[in-house]
Amino acid sequence: MKKIINLTIDDQKIAVDEGTTILEAARKSGIKIPTLCYHEDLCIAGNCRICVVEQENMRSLPAACATPVSEGMVINTNSTKVRNARKFLVELLLSEHNADCTACVKNRHCELQTLAEQNHIREHTFIDLKDDKNYTIDKLSPAIIIDYSKCIRCQRCVRTCEEIQAISALSAAYKGKDMKITTFFEKPINTVVCSTCGQCVAHCPTGALTEHFYIDEVWDAINDPDKHVVVQTAPSVRVALGEEFGLKPGTIVTGKMVAALRRLGFDEVEDTDFTADLTVIEEGNELLRRLKAKLADKDESVKLPMVTTCSPAWVKYCEHAFSDLLGHLSTCKSPMSMFGALSKTYYAEKFKLDPAKIVSVAIMPCIAKKFESNRPEMRASGYKDTDYVLTTRELAIMIKQAGIDFNTLKDSSFDSLMGVASGAGLIFGNSGGVMEAALRCAYMIVVGKDIPFEDLSITPLHGSEGEIVEMSVKFTGTKPEWSFLEGVTVNVAHANMLSNAYKIMEEIKNGTSKYHFVEIMSCPGGCIGGAGQPLPTNKAKRTARKEAIYSGEKLIEIRKSQDNPEIVNIYDDYLGKPLEEKAHKLLHVPGFTPRKRY
């Protein structure tokens, strides 16, 4: 039992557990203390000082986020002293900040702008400091753009990169007036250890960190009569896009999203969930092939556990941090890149289109996908497989640009050929989804029966955010060709956030890993918490999206990837057998790229 502490905030008597901060205690009582450097996903920094409050009998104003409550404490969150301090603090931040709000991507979504409004800032009390700062913009990365003129040095990005991803690509440098947030030796972000996951972007309160926008390029392609523009949408976009139009987090807007894409002028609207199903087949077969080689044929060169590669930030991180363990990575491309390759081969052939004239666009919850689409490995079709990647937020901007009233759109459905998906494809949006989908598929191949879970829902894998979730599957009653798996217990695990990936990989490196198969997603909660999703990011929103994915799956009749008729067709008509011939050429990467650790 924790000790109960009694205190008074704004004349309200409050009792909370010992260790609670003033900020938490206030929020519990419905008292809103403004914050800026605080983020619920991150540790307390207490550096912006916006949340200062007045404490009775104390000279200085403690920061509410960083100060634990104490017995008998009397707090005033709205005294003249507090208001004056807060106003000055916001004005100080503005004096260092490029407040060209109308030309800023974060206009109306910027936390500093909101504070300026709430604190009734109507003049510039202080001298403009921007001219002395030599601010620059780093635009070299295809994924992340850093506009140093908008940075307020709250270090949310620094804490994100360190705590969530265990990378520390961004950190504080210099001191005093020169203190800034930057990369190793101030190199461009595309040349350092950055995984491009973009969680820094998702946690940045201002427009200092943003994705690299490709909206104009996509409009140009749509408006070019010579181009055939095909678009794919990732599973987790449909449970988040609605937030940009005022709908509750977790609202499923698949039909409206497809309708909006058609209205925008895309020639064909297909579904990444389809290639997620394809990934399941390829990856499931790859796992079984590795298990056979290792367990039955005793081939020691085969690496286990096999680790998924759907998350591009994870792949890049692994190339940097564990470049000697790349043999553990599945050679399967991500669903997006499988789609990209097929859009300029299978799709072009079926519709008799010149692949040179096809522009393949992907709507993703992700910023790292922008990096992935630009990888030299992703040109199996002979062209750039995926031309442009847009985030969920960019799609929302395009819909608003086009003047589409999203909420009144009539539902539309995906086009065929690569537009049908099983529930297994949809759950890729959640951390653990790839694992669940692959187990359903592999179990059926090995045993010839459905994996014994009610409704095929492997709930032990659903886990919660930030956990390493483990599970064991025992194969009994195997088909003759899989008899080497009879009675074998296969250990699997999945985790999100690269800080967890680090733990799993360290075990693999030390030879203490007990797993056969591991799924890793870079972002909190998986793709539903991707850095390209509507902002702000927080656990409540991510949970709502996660539940929407699982409940959405229940509505889909086909639950296993191999039962998807379009999947059956593509193997029969075009790819041949999993892992072989065309499938091998188009759906697998030739290899990975070892990278430096700094």
Instruction: Please give the positions annotated as active site.
Output: 283, 286, 310, 330, 369, 372, 377, 527
Query: Can you read off the two tokens belonging to residue 254?
Result: 């698949």
**Terminus-to-terminus CA distance in the chain, angstroms?**
45
Give the contact letters, 205-234, x = binds to another protein (CB under 8 A), - = no. ------------------------------
Three-state DSSP at 512 gives: coil
Question: Shortest approach of another protein to residue 98 CB, angstroms?
Answer: 14
Can you tell me which residue has the tokens 């003047």?
403
Residues within window 129-168 making contact with another protein, judged by CB under 8 A? 129, 152-153, 155
Question: Shortest approach of another protein to residue 195 CB, angstroms?
Answer: 22
Q: Please list, in sequence order, all residues whose beta carbon lies within 8 angstroms of the beta carbon of residue 191, skipping any fewer than 6 positions away.
A: 140
Question: Shortest approach of another protein to residue 506 CB, angstroms?
Answer: 20
Give the contact letters, 92-131, x = binds to another protein (CB under 8 A), - = no. xx-xx----------------------------xxx-x--
Identify which of residues 81 and 449 has a Cβ nearer to another protein in the complex. 81
Q: Is 16 in the site for another protein (CB under 8 A)?
A: no
CA distances from 129 to 84, 106, 510 (A): 21, 21, 51
How many C-beta atoms lie closer than 10 Å to residue 533's C-beta? 31
- Residues 553/257, Cβ–Cβ less than 8 Å: no
Q: Is 1 in the site for another protein (CB under 8 A)?
A: no
Give the range of 64-72, 195-203, 347-355, 412-420 binding another protein by CB under 8 A.
Answer: 64-72
Sheet of strand 489-496: strand arrangement: 306-307, 517-521, 489-496, 468-474
How far apart CA 140 and CA 189 sit, in angstroms, is 8
Total residue count of the chain as it appears in this document: 598
| Identified binder of another protein from the candidate list 49, 212, 228, 238, rule CB under 8 A | 49
- Residues 184/193, Cβ–Cβ less than 8 Å: yes
Which helix (H) or strand (E) is 350 found in, with range?
Answer: helix 346-350
Residue type (1 letter), 160:
T
The torsion angle over the Cα atoms of residues 278, 399, 198 and 41, rounded to 10 degrees, is -100
Identify which of residues 48 and 531 has a Cβ nearer to another protein in the complex. 48
Identify which of residues 178 and 226 has a Cβ nearer to another protein in the complex. 178
Three-state DSSP at 497 gives: coil
| Identified binder of another protein from the candidate list 10, 24, 27, 85, rule CB under 8 A | 85
Give the range of 53-61, 277-285, 301-309, 353-361 binding another protein by CB under 8 A.
Answer: 53-61
Q: Please list, in sequence order, all residues whose beta carbon lies within 8 angstroms of the beta carbon of residue 18, skipping any fewer than 6 positions away.
A: 2, 3, 4, 5, 68, 69
Residues within window 516-545 making contact with another protein, judged by CB under 8 A? none
Q: Is 45 in the site for another protein (CB under 8 A)?
A: yes
| Identified binder of another protein from the candidate list 178, 226, 300, 572, rule CB under 8 A | 178
How many C-beta atoms lie closer than 10 Å to residue 297's C-beta? 10
Question: Shortest approach of another protein to residue 34 CB, angstroms?
Answer: 13
Cis status of the peptide bond prior to 188, with omega within 30 of 0:
no
Identify which of residues 126 and 351 has a Cβ nearer to another protein in the complex. 126
How far apart CA 567 and CA 573 sit, in angstroms, is 10
Q: Is 68 in the site for another protein (CB under 8 A)?
A: yes
| Identified binder of another protein from the candidate list 20, 35, 67, 337, rule CB under 8 A | 67
Q: Is 3 in the site for another protein (CB under 8 A)?
A: no
Q: Is 64 in the site for another protein (CB under 8 A)?
A: no
Question: Shortest approach of another protein to residue 46 CB, angstroms?
Answer: 4
Residues that bind another protein (CB under 8 A): 44-50, 52, 59-61, 63, 66-68, 81, 84-85, 88-89, 92-93, 95-96, 125-127, 129, 152-153, 155, 171-172, 174-179
